[in-house]
């Protein structure tokens, strides 16, 4: 039995039409359509393109929040594929975004390998390169005969459970994912040679290319502190005694929201710290050192600040991935907004 693959293409590659047909509604057809021929050839006899899903690029774009993805997934699921190919989209922007979106959804929801292909400047690249394999193509469909064998080869490798090598070996666009391996030489030895090369002005090399860092500008200053609602947010790992939500000592995967209602300070009988990155002795004795409830209550009483919120938000900062930190904020900021918090006191450790 050949292994089943489903292919996603847009209205243009399906031969339905160009811009005028970009509102074409989702449809699935048994067998190959258009570039499916090249895919079939590249996959070989042990694989079969059982169906082709077609969707107009504009329809996809304007229905992305209105259920087009689940609709397509339902269609695809019926064919019980073991692998999925979208595109390639070359430099077509809307098509690229559609290919990336559906490939990621198939990979996440149907738990099968998915591959697509794009030109490096396709906007779909930056949106999806971390999540799915995107074979690097040229900017037009003239590159189809070169691109499709690479898509097929990478898909087959994944379907067979073989190790996927680096972007250069496989032809995909660098995902920006850090993967471990054992180098032939130890790090210090490589560093010494690199330093000599750098001093001599020879070509330099880095194991870790500098990423573009997501900088957040500080919010404007508060105009009226005396009426401001203030919340405490900390990465210092303060939790209620017993750590009820099991927040990790390092590399946290979650955050917590805990009550300080009616407390005039943070007492050690109520709170502890699980943070694994600093000397816990002092905060264990006095949690106010990390969440200064005592001082803030005092300021509240004196009318220096309007109100201290009845809860604080907490996680462990040490070893915690920046993407996890970003997700935590995306989860708790709406709560702060809903509660009309004007400012937070961010306490790090």
Partner 1 sequence: MKLELGKIHIHDVQFGEKTKIENGVLYVNAKELEAEVLKDDRLAGCHIEVARPGESVRITPVKDVIEPRLKVEGPGCVFPGIMGKVTEVGKGVTYCMDGACVVTVGKIVGFQEGVIDMSGVAADYCPFSKTQNVCVVMEPKEGLETHVYEAAGRMAGLTAATYLAKALKGMTPDETITYETKPLLEQVAQYPDLPRVGYIHMLQSQGLLHDTYYYGVDAKQIVPTIMYPTEIFDGAIVSGNCVAPCDKVTTYHHEHNPVIEDLFKKHGKTLNFVGVVLTNENVFLMDKERHSDMVAKLCEYMGLEGALLTEEGYGNPDTDLMMNCRKVTQHGTKVVIITDEFPGRDGKSYSLADLTPEADTMISCGNGNIVLHFPAMDKIIGTQEAIEMQIGGWVGCKHEDGSFDAEIQIIIASTIANGFNHLCARQY
Cα torsion angle, 152, 158, 160, 166, sign: positive
Interaction between residue 213 and partner 1 (CB under 8 A):
yes
Residue 328, Cα to own-chain centre: how many angstroms?
A: 13
3-state secondary structure of 316: strand
- Taking CB under 8 A as the binding criterion, the range among 82-90, 136-144, 293-301, 318-326 that sits at the site for partner 1 is 318-326
Q: Could you say which of 25, 77, 146, 198 contacts partner 1 (CB under 8 A)? A: 198
Of 259 and 284, nearer to partner 1 (C-beta) is 284
Cβ within 8 Å of residue 155, ≥6 positions away: 5, 43, 83, 84, 85, 113, 114, 115
Of 63 and 116, nearer to partner 1 (C-beta) is 116
Show the binding pattern over residues 155-194: x = contacts partner 1 (CB under 8 A), - = does not: ---------x-xx------xxxxxxxxxxxxxxxxxxxxx
Interaction between residue 150 and partner 1 (CB under 8 A):
no
Interaction between residue 241 and partner 1 (CB under 8 A):
no
Q: Could you say which of 2, 17, 44, 319 contacts partner 1 (CB under 8 A)? A: 319
Interaction between residue 77 and partner 1 (CB under 8 A):
no
User: In angstroms, rounded to a whole number, what is the distance separating the alpha carbons of residues 105 and 122?
Assistant: 19
Of 58 and 253, nearer to partner 1 (C-beta) is 253
Query: Partners of 145 in the beta sheet?
Result: none
Of 191 and 226, nearer to partner 1 (C-beta) is 191
Interaction between residue 74 and partner 1 (CB under 8 A):
no
User: In angstroms, rounded to a whole number, what is the distance separating the alpha carbons of residues 52 and 37?
Assistant: 11
Taking CB under 8 A as the criterion, which residues in 281-300 touch partner 1? 281
CB 239 within 8 A of CB 258: yes
Interaction between residue 140 and partner 1 (CB under 8 A):
no
Q: Does an H or E element contain 10, and which?
A: strand 3-10
Look at the block and give the residue holding tokens 């210090």. Answer: 188
User: In angstroms, rounded to a whole number, what is the distance separating the alpha carbons of residues 294 and 109?
Assistant: 48
3-state secondary structure of 38: helix
User: In angstroms, rounded to a whole number, what is the distance separating the alpha carbons of residues 94 and 157?
Assistant: 28
Of 274 and 291, nearer to partner 1 (C-beta) is 274
Q: Could you say which of 97, 148, 317, 336 contacts partner 1 (CB under 8 A)? A: 317
User: In angstroms, rounded to a whole number, what is the distance separating the alpha carbons of residues 281 and 3?
Assistant: 59
Number of residues located near partner 1, criterion CB under 8 A: 60
Q: Could you say which of 2, 37, 78, 205 contacts partner 1 (CB under 8 A)? A: 205
Interaction between residue 268 and partner 1 (CB under 8 A):
no
CB 91 within 8 A of CB 121: yes
First and final C-alpha spacing in the chain: 59
- Taking CB under 8 A as the binding criterion, the range among 94-102, 139-147, 271-279, 305-313 that sits at the site for partner 1 is 271-279
Interaction between residue 322 and partner 1 (CB under 8 A):
yes
Q: Does 160 sit behind a cis peptide bond, omega within 30 degrees of 0 on the bond before it?
A: no
Interaction between residue 221 and partner 1 (CB under 8 A):
no
Q: Could you say which of 123, 149, 240, 277 contacts partner 1 (CB under 8 A)? A: 277
Minimal distance, residue 245 CB to partner 1, in Å: 9
User: In angstroms, rounded to a whole number, what is the distance separating the alpha carbons of residues 6 and 50?
Assistant: 6
Binding site for partner 1 (CB under 8 A): 130, 164, 166-167, 174-196, 198-200, 204-211, 213, 243, 246, 248-251, 253, 274, 276-281, 317-319, 321-324
């Amino acid at each position: 039995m050949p292994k089943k693959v489903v292919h996603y293409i847009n209205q243009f590659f399906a031969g339905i039409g160009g811009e005028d047909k970009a509102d074409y509604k989702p449809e699935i057809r048994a067998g190959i359509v258009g570039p499916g021929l090249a895919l079939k050839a590249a996959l070989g006899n042990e694989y079969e393109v059982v169906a082709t899903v077609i969707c107009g690029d504009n329809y996809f774009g304007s229905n992305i929040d209105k259920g087009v993805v689940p609709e397509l997934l339902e269609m695809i699921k019926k064919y019980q594929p073991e692998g999925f190919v979208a595109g390639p989209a070359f430099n077509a922007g809307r098509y690229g975004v559609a290919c990336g979106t559906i490939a990621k959804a198939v990979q996440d929801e149907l738990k099968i390998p998915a591959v697509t292909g794009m030109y490096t400047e396709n906007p779909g690249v930056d949106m999806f390169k971390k999540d799915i394999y995107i074979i690097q193509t040229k900017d037009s469909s003239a590159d189809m005969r070169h691109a499709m064998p690479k898509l097929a080869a990478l898909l087959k490798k994944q379907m067979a459970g073989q190790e996927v090598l680096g972007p250069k070996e496989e032809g995909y666009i660098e995902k920006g994912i850090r993967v471990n391996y054992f180098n032939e030489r130890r790090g210090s030895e490589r560093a010494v040679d690199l330093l000599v090369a750098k001093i001599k002005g020879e070509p330099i090399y880095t194991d870790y290319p500098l990423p573009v860092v997501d900088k957040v500008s500080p919010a404007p200053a508060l105009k009226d502190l005396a009426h401001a609602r203030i919340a405490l947010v900390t990465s210092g790992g303060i939790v209620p005694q017993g750590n009820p939500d099991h927040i990790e000592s390092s590399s946290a995967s979650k955050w917590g929201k805990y009550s300080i209602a009616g407390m005039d300070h943070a007492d050690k009988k109520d709170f502890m710290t699980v943070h694994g990155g600093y000397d816990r002795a002092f905060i264990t004795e006095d949690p106010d050192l990390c969440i200064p409830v005592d001082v803030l209550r005092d300021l509240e009483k004196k009318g220096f600040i309007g109100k201290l919120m009845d809860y604080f938000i907490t996680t462990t900062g040490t070893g915690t991935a920046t993407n996890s930190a970003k997700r935590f904020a995306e989860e708790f900021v709406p709560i702060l907004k809903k509660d009309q918090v004007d400012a937070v006191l961010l306490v790090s450790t």
